[in-house]
Chain A
């Protein structure tokens, strides 16, 4: 009994820890912009300072913000797709084939995962300007791929090792063509792993900030985290908190949707490949 009470308290603490700041940013986004400019402390909007969805309308009505959402979605989805395709090939080789340099590939991936991203800012800034990739979608997609590949390779290799590949031969013995065996047996077994790797990769790309601020200069390619941080409003010393909060909530919605639908897969991916994005 005592233990059960302890557990309930523990679960309560975990939920408060995880959700309180989220509730807070939503609450802040509902505060009236004028009230916020003049100062409106407190967790919930004060009496008369409740703005309803005004801030959301303003944020969504802002061209820069909408462009940034489109940039982020496009860049993240493209780099996720490309990265997962390349990682699937590499992970298949690592999990299934014997070859020299396997250790080297895994070590390289590990080293890149630990790489201090900011150290690349200076040379990449210079290189991208020289080759015309500065402030373009490909200019961000390429570094995103480099930095999500390790995570995708580790996760996928961990998943692929678990697949009972003998089933492919078994199906062929039973009369399936090799294409049928691959499509009907291997693809359904591998798909969850590929999918999980894609989610983790997407999270990384969506979250990136360093490349987002250093390799872009206009709304042509600037992704949402960078755009939020540059949005200072009229007074740089008094940022439009409630408007930014509304923007932040909008930027968080894709993450929440993915988490709600795929929570089990994400945890499995994080702990089996033990990966962080």
Chain B
């Protein structure tokens, strides 16, 4: 859970010249000084960021060419790309990729629709704003593990209430007994927790659409539906795309809810969960590293596909919003 949408304001904002800077002769000297100060200011943050990401992922790349198990570390040996071959020819890997993509597509799609509806309501509403804001931040702030527990217990027939509330479902229906219902339960928890974030991003985008334009369309006789599709949505395209990109990448890394609700049983395992299981439960560091590298590459691929497919222009989104 750590998607950062690019800032709404651009970063090529003009530097305000310090007083006297422009008319002094040693401009380049000052610029160099500024340069050095700036680099010294960003250095600690950059070092910390790379320390725990770039270095370990390179280390994972290295380990992925070895057979290396914590249960017998002395047997560590170079085996080339065998780990990759094993992973990529195993049906389990592809099934988990498929399940992960399913989680991503379904949850982001539903979040987008519900999040947009929430944003519309919040945009129009003039009363109880503090109350709505507070409520919408609770799912956002709550621990994912807690959300997972809340929904898992809600779905269980032993102590939950959902079987009793849903018509057409028997009181003793076991949601976690087979793949489809278990996947649905996990998705519900995921969607519940992350829709508020989506709606806040969309609300910010909605605020950028000029009221005059909507009013003009209304005067011209456009129906509500036409105004939505022809005026509002096209004008907040950048905001929607950024929200989708970041939520999608976040959803692709789904792990917490699966761990808590099913522990990956009955075919609910995601690719992140597979990596975890190989490393921590089976102590296969070589294989786990190979899977880590594959996970990393697949995230890059997903990000690339979304940017290409939806033509998300990050720079534009940053500059225009």
Contacts and interface: CB of A to CB of B under 8 A. Distances in A.
B50 A108 contact: yes
Contacts of A142: 48, 51-52
A193 interface: no
A113 interface: yes
Interface in B37-64: 37-39, 41-42, 44-46, 48-53, 56-57, 59-60, 63
Interface of B: 1-9, 11, 13, 15-16, 19, 31, 34-35, 37-39, 41-42, 44-46, 48-53, 56-57, 59-60, 63, 114, 117-118, 120-122, 124-125, 127-128, 130-147, 149-151, 153-154, 156-161, 163-165, 171, 192, 195-197, 200-201, 203-204, 242, 246, 249-250, 252-253, 255-256, 259-260, 272-273, 275-276, 278-280, 285, 288-289, 291-293, 295-296, 299, 303
A249 B304 CA distance: 39
B280 to A, nearest CB: 6
Contacts of A149: 45, 48-49
Contacts of B151: 21
Nearest to A103: B11
CB-CB nearest 9 A-B residue pairs = A10-B121, A99-B38, A274-B5, A113-B4, A123-B56, A146-B52, A93-B41, A119-B292, A271-B204
Contact of B133 (A127, A214, A248, A264): A264
B56 A259 contact: no
A272 B2 contact: no
A118 B224 CA distance: 45
Contacts, number: 366
A246 to B, nearest CB: 11
A74 interface: no
A98 B130 CA distance: 39
Contact of B288 (A24, A93, A121, A275): A121
Contacts of B39: 93, 99, 101
Chain A interface SS verdict (over half):
helix
A134 interface: no
B135 A204 contact: no
B5 A124 contact: no
Given A97-B15, A99-B34, A252-B143, A22 B138 contact: yes
A115 B197 contact: no
B227 to A, nearest CB: 14
Contacts of B165: 43
A151 to B, nearest CB: 5
> Which one of A3, A15, A36 has the highest number of Cβ atoms from chain B below 10 Å of its Cβ?
A15
Interface residues of A, number: 115
Contacts of A244: 149, 153
A31 interface: yes
Interface stretch (A52-60, A158-166, A175-183): A158-166
A125 B278 CA distance: 12
B200 A89 contact: no
Interface in A199-243: 203-204, 206-207, 209-210, 213-214, 224-226, 228-229, 238, 241-242
B145 A161 contact: no
A275 B5 contact: yes
A126 B272 contact: no
A79 to B, nearest CB: 10
Contacts of A24: 150, 154, 161
A36 to B, nearest CB: 5
A11 B121 contact: yes
A267 interface: yes
Contacts of A210: 255-256, 276
Nearest to A119: B292
A122 B6 CA distance: 29
A130 B145 CA distance: 29
A14 interface: yes
Given A15-B131, A41-B159, A161-B13, A118 B51 contact: no
Nearest to A85: B44
Interface in A34-59: 36, 39-43
20 contacts: A17-B139, A19-B135, A25-B150, A42-B164, A87-B45, A94-B11, A98-B15, A103-B11, A105-B45, A117-B253, A121-B288, A126-B285, A157-B11, A161-B13, A209-B145, A209-B255, A229-B259, A248-B146, A273-B4, A276-B4
Contacts of B134: 259-260, 263
A98 B318 CA distance: 18
Contacts of A225: 143-146, 256
Contacts of B56: 120, 123-124, 127
Contacts of A226: 145
Given A118-B295, A142-B51, A274-B242, A252 B37 contact: no
